[in-house]
A = this chain, B = another copy of it.
Amino acid sequence: MKELQDRIKKDGIVISEDILKVDSFVNHQVDPTLMQHVGAEFAEHFKDRGITKIATIESSGIPPALMTAQAMELPLIILKKQPSAVLNDHLYQTEVTSFTKETSYELTLSSKFISEKDHVLIIDDFLANGEAATGAIRLIRKAHATVAGIGVLIEKSFQPGHEKLTSQGFDVYALARIGHMEKDKITFID
C-alpha cells in the first residue's frame, strides 16, 4: 500500500536495524484517515471469504482493526492482555511471551463472543517474530473457530513471523513489507 509506505518513509523513525518507531501516526498518535484507508484495503483483500468477525490484540491493533470491521460491517473482538491466568469456564486463555519485551501475558477472550461457526480475520499493527499472532491463532482454535487470514500494517520481513505463519498455510497480507532498514533508509519488498 503506497500511502502507508510513503508515510513510513516520511514519519517512521529507525531506532536500530530491527526497531522502527511509527508512534506519530500508528501507535501513540493515530491518523484516523490513514487508518480508514488501511481498513478499506484489508476489507478489499479479504472480501468474499466468509469472514464473520475481526479480532485484534489490545491495544495498538485496535485502530486499524476497528476500521477494517467498519468497512466489512462485522463485529470487532479485542483480545485482552491479562497479567495472569484465571480459572474461569467462560474465558479462553493462552500465554504469550514477547521475546523483544521480555514479558509474558495471558491473551484472553470471553467464550460469549466466539463460537465454532466463526471465521476470524486477525488484524495487528506489526508482524515481527509472530508471537502475538501465533497466540491469537491458538486462542481462536481453542474456541474451535477458524482463522481466515492475518492482516498487518507493517511486516519486518527479515524476522521470522511471516515465514512461521505462511508455512502453516495462513494468508498473511502486509501493507508494508520491510526488507531492510538502517538510519534514514528503509527498503520495502514489493
Contact = CB atoms under 8 A, between A and B. Distances in A.
A68 to B, nearest CB: 9
Contacts of A66: 30, 32, 35, 62-63, 66-67
A108 to B, nearest CB: 9
Nearest to A110: B28
A75 interface: yes
* Copies, count: 2
Contacts of A24: 112-113
A146 interface: no
B30 A59 contact: no
A84 to B, nearest CB: 13
A67 B36 CA distance: 10
Contact of A78 (B59, B67, B110, B113): B59
Interface of A: 23-24, 27-33, 35-36, 58-59, 62-63, 66-67, 69-70, 73-78, 80, 109-110, 112-113
